[in-house]
């Protein structure tokens, strides 16, 4: 075969690969998202706040009429160790008896979606992507520090129930809105007792019950100013913090005594 034939065949092969790549790109799902802020400052007067999450969808046929993809957003806070105790009645008095300790409990968890997650996809798909409170409980059971009871599932369910009561775990069906043809937005509330640290927001796009794309962004919640100094001192230098607290208490007492002596 001639050199010209090989060159012609190579050109055809390159063009074919480019065409296949373009076709694949046209069918690819894509999501871009961001937060209204990536840093939340906690001060003495912090009473909670709302954080905006917004994004855009690009998918095959979005210019045509048809079912819009579903969006599920899971916001997870920093993990911490947590102990749950069971109260039992002894001689007419309620006392703590059994307890269970879990190593990695998310301090915050918010689940937002445009419709009920059970209507969006299967329980298998939710478990595969670690979405929802059922999967959260299952993950808690995989990382216990120790159990003094034979019913750890009850304790895992109790953690979720307690943190829901504290407004740290929440689910917002309809929390994802579509202000435009392929735009979405959502707001999740951070209560005043929200833990400090790094938060992960996972955005999942589902089409016909199958995961089409996902995106992750981060949020940091930390103390600022004098509050940050006191927090850091108390947690990283507790001995110095204790001494300074005692000295401050002594001076406050002496000052109060001097004021009342003059009166």
Domain ranges of the chain: 30-222, 224-263
Instruction: Name residue 213's beta-bridge partners.
Output: 205
- What is the rounded average pLDDT for all residues in the chain? 78
Q: Determine the Cα–Cα distance for residues 110 and 73; give it in Å rounded to an integer.
A: 8
Contacts of residue 63, defined as CB under 8 A and 6 or more positions apart, other chains included, come to: none
- Out of 208-212, 220-224, 228-232, 239-243, pick the least confident: 228-232
What pTM did the predictor assign? 0.72
The pLDDT tens digits for 181-224 are 778 999 999 999 999 999 999 999 998 889 988 999 999 998 76
140, 184 Cβ separation under 8 angstroms: no
Cα angle 50, 176, 187 (rounded to 5 degrees) comes to: 5
152 — pLDDT class (breaks 50, 70, 90): confident
Check residue 19 and report its DSSP letter. Answer: H
What CATH number does domain 30-222 carry, 3.40.390.10, 3.30.450.370, 2.60.40.1930, 3.90.1150.10? 2.60.40.1930
The pLDDT tens digits for 40-76 are 988 877 888 999 999 988 766 555 566 788 999 999 9
Q: Determine the Cα–Cα distance for residues 211 and 59; give it in Å rounded to an integer.
A: 13
């Amino acid at each position: 075969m001639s050199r010209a034939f090989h060159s012609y065949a190579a050109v055809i092969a390159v063009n074919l690969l480019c065409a296949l790549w373009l076709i694949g790109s046209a069918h690819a799902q894509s999501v871009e998202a961001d937060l209204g802020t990536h840093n939340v400052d906690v001060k003495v007067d912090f009473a909670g706040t709302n954080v905006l999450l917004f994004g855009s969808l690009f998918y095959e046929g979005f210019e045509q009429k048809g079912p819009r993809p579903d969006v599920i957003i899971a916001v997870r806070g920093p993990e911490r160790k947590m102990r749950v105790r069971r109260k039992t009645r002894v001689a007419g008095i309620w006392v703590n008896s059994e307890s269970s300790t879990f190593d990695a409990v998310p301090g915050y968890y918010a689940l937002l979606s445009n419709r009920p997650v059970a209507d969006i996809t299967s329980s298998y798909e939710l478990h595969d992507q670690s979405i929802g409170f059922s999967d959260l409980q299952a993950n808690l059971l995989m990382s216990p520090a120790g159990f003094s009871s034979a019913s750890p599932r009850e304790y895992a369910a109790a953690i979720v129930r307690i943190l829901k009561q504290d407004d740290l775990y929440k689910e917002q069906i309809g929390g994802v809105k579509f202000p435009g043809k392929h735009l979405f937005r959502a707001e999740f509330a951070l209560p005043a007792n929200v833990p400090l640290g790094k938060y992960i927001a996972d955005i999942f796009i589902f089409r016909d019950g199958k995961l089409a794309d996902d995106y992750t962004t981060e949020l940091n919640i930390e103390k600022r100013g004098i509050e940050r100094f006191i927090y850091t001192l108390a947690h990283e230098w507790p001995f110095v913090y204790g001494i300074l607290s005692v000295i401050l208490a002594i001076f406050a007492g002496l000052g109060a005594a001097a004021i009342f002596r003059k009166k």
